[in-house]
Structure 1
Amino acid sequence: MNRENFDREMMKMVEPNSNLPLMEIGLIRDIMLKEEKAAMTLIATEQEQEQGIIETRQQQIEQMLRSLGITDIHFRIKTVSAEEKQNIITRAQEMKRSASRPITKAAAQNPFPISPLVKQGVRFIAVASGKGGVGKSTVTLHLARSLQKAGKNVGIIDADIYGFSIPDMMGIYEKPEPTNNRPTPLKKDGIQVISTGFFVKDNNPVLWRGPRLGRMLSSFLNDVKWESLDYMLIDLPPGTGDIALAVHQMIPECLEIIVTTPQSTAAVVAERAGLMALQTNHRILGVVENMSYYEDDSGTKHYIFGKDGGKKLADQLRTSLLARIPIIPEDGESTKSTILSTIYDELAQHIIRSTSN
């Protein structure tokens, strides 16, 4: 199944009043494609169902899917009020208008050069969150390992200036040595890493702001002597500050993954990071919900931090929920650790498929 063909055909199906694609504004959600199978959720009012409008829509989509070679098709119908549906459409229209405007005068001027790594075909993925403590760096590291396991050359830029943790998580305690007066990333488990932590004495806090932060990121992208790369993961600071803006300026084609927990407050602030990506025309690959649940020895799942915050955030940003990551202690059983590894391996494969030409 060619996802590009699917997306192109689905974008032809529009909501009649707004003339916006149903998939783009979130009236078609939870799309799952696998070989000859497809499943999705259609959002509809009771009136649309009674008048047969949703049935006609199903028939149109099914006809399109069959023309693409998909034979096993499943629809789920989610009923909403007319007011809820209008809110979905209005929100999508506002986000679309916002995405067409420059974020700030400074962003439009773009004082930083675009990284030459972009021209080399490196695929950049920024891992963002709205607040700290949601496991963004953990997601970055595990994803990098799964991409490397899949045969990809992977680098990590630990750009979380005020909370750099990647070197410690990877067990890297030495400092990089320059080659021909150029910084060289350190390599651990086949992954190339550069971090602010490499250039900070002891554990002193970083007291940088504004242009200095941008210059640091520019140096990581342009001055560091990277080996051949397929993917570069950028562990962003939480929020929408200077570093996040610099990434948008220097790497126009950067993709983004938004990390949140199931808590509603975490999802609300994470939405701002997602809206910044949309506002600067960056493509959001999807949402990863971390700390989704804890599964005890009996197999019962305990939703310690609430439930479905990641799904709600994905719906708000008109994107997909890529993964739900369970809580597994570091000294957890090997079987549970294997489950975690499997989730990240599947996430890596999804990203490889989504970013392949």
Structure 2
Amino acid sequence: MPTEDMLRSALALVIDPEIRRPITEVGMVRSVEIDDDGVATIGIDLTIAACPMRERLTSDVDAAVRSVEGVTDVRIELGVMTDEQRLALRSKLRGGAPEAVIPFTQPGNLTKIYAIASGKGGVGKSTVTANLAAAMAADGLKVGVLDADIFGFSIPSMLGVKGQPTRLDDMLLPPISHDVKTVSIGMFVPEGQPVVWRGPMLHRALEQFLADVFWGDLDVLLLDLPPGTGDMAISVAQLLPHAELVVVTTPQTAAAGVAERAGSIATQTSQSVAGVIENMAWLEQADGSRLHLFGEGGGQHVADRLTATLGTPVPLLGQIPLEITTREGGDNGMPVVIGAPETAAAQAMVAIARSLTSRSRGLAGRKLAVTPVSGTGH
């Protein structure tokens, strides 16, 4: 006959789809019983009554318990966490901290943070961000995307994200699509309604998205910045001082000049620039030749100019060709690196993603294994 311990061991393999931790670890398993006929009765407390993952959780629990030898049937009794349980869960998710803090600025945090920037709109910055995130997640990394383009948000649709984050009182559990955790103001604004905010509200929104969202233990956080060097770029530098900039441009001379200014903000914010991405580099023809619709050399020009301005090497991370499949993937919520990985654009973005994730993170904000020693010498 199966025992309660056997059932709990099986339940420990059930991962909450939003929190990404075992349901036994986050206090969702209220009770476990097994009768003489092998019928298991499992009490599960959902975080909220309207949990969007209710059906998936029920299905996963049912499958896990039925996998235990000797179980003849499974009955699942759903309930909802009390205020005290939710408080304990929020504290646990915050690592014991009672109040919200920005986890990426805490000592010992190893998350790599890249702010994807551009000097002007229309260069494909959001498309690049969505595909880099999906490519990194496909490589097995834990990835989050913060859509910081408050006025021109598009990340949710490009990643195929549906609905809003789940509210756990003052904590938000971000929706996950293509294994990427995503948060955007677009999840809270009615369709077609513009966002009309000024500087302080933009800063507060970014601060809340960083502190109030349960990001978990991320390997990489990508921020899709609005074009230019305005309020949001400055707020990112203040709230995430060790975030590195990735500048997206097209080969066009005019776009490259503006992109250079977007990267040069690092001289005033003391940030580093991880590199430059040249998007829409060429259109491949049927005979294999390349049609340079927007000119040539813009990406390398920006990289060279930023290297001279900043005094540190700023590489050209890659060139992405212009392809219809990339646009179609963005419209359908299926990034091209997932939907059409054989295409040249997808392969270019996968290569860029891997070059970024292979970089070592800087020492800012990290604990060093150094102990000060006092002495009587010099």
2:319 partner amino acid: R
Secondary structure of residue in 2 paired with 1:183? strand
Q: In 1, Cα distance between the equivalents of 2:226 and 2:115?
A: 10
Q: Does 1:147 align with 2:152?
A: no
Do the aligned partners of 2:126 and 2:154 also contact (CA within 8 Å) in 1?
A: yes
Aligned positions of 1:105-116 closer than 5 A: 115-116=102-103
Deviations 1:95-147 (A, max 9, x none): xxxxxxxxxxxxxxxxxx98332322221100000000100001101111111
Secondary structure of residue in 2 paired with 1:252? coil
Question: Which structure has the bigger radius of gyration?
Answer: 2
1:323 partner amino acid: G
Partner residue in 2 for 1:32: none
Shift of 1:350: 1.1
Q: Does 1:237 align with 2:226?
A: yes
Q: Does 1:228 align with 2:217?
A: yes
> What TM-score, normalized by structure 2, do the two folds share?
0.62
Shift of 1:339: 2.1
Q: In 2, Cα distance between the equivalents of 1:184 and 1:284?
A: 30
Deviations 1:152-191 (A, max 9, x none): 1000000101110011112223122202331221100100
Q: In 1, Cα distance between the equivalents of 2:264 and 2:178?
A: 34
2:349 partner amino acid: Y
2:115 partner amino acid: A
Instruction: Say which structure is richer in helix.
Output: 1
Deviations 1:198-234 (A, max 9, x none): 1112221110011100000000001112222111000
Partner residue in 2 for 1:136: 125
Q: Does 1:324 align with 2:319?
A: yes
Shift of 1:241: 0.6
Secondary structure of residue in 1 paired with 2:150? coil
Q: Does 1:118 align with 2:123?
A: no
Q: What value does the CA root-mean-square deviation take over the aligned residues? A: 2.0
Do the aligned partners of 2:278 and 2:318 also contact (CA within 8 Å) in 1?
A: yes
Q: In 2, Cα distance between the equivalents of 1:138 and 1:258?
A: 13
More divergent stretch after superposition (117-126 vs 258-267): 117-126
Shift of 1:336: 8.3
Q: For residues 280 and 187 of structure 1, do their structure 2 counterparts lie closer, same or farther at Cα, with a shift above 3 Å needed?
A: same
Q: In 2, Cα distance between the equivalents of 1:271 and 1:147?
A: 26
Do the aligned partners of 2:110 and 2:361 also contact (CA within 8 Å) in 1?
A: no
Q: In 2, Cα distance between the equivalents of 1:242 and 1:235?
A: 14
How many residue pairs get matched?
Answer: 245
Deviations 1:286-344 (A, max 9, x none): 10000000001110100001110111111000111111000010269998853222212
What is the aligned-residue identity percentage? 42
Q: In 2, Cα distance between the equivalents of 1:157 and 1:325?
A: 23
Q: Which runs of 5+ in 1 are unaligned?
A: 1-112
Shift of 1:352: 1.8
Q: In 2, Cα distance between the equivalents of 1:280 and 1:252?
A: 8
Among 270, 291, 296, which residue is 1:281 paired with?
270
Q: In 2, Cα distance between the equivalents of 1:191 and 1:249?
A: 25
Aligned positions of 1:64-143 closer than 5 A: 115-119=102-106, 120-143=109-132
Q: For residues 114 and 124 of structure 1, do their structure 2 counterparts lie closer, same or farther at Cα, with a shift above 3 Å needed?
A: farther
Q: In 1, Cα distance between the equivalents of 2:150 and 2:191?
A: 15
Do the aligned partners of 2:117 and 2:262 also contact (CA within 8 Å) in 1?
A: yes
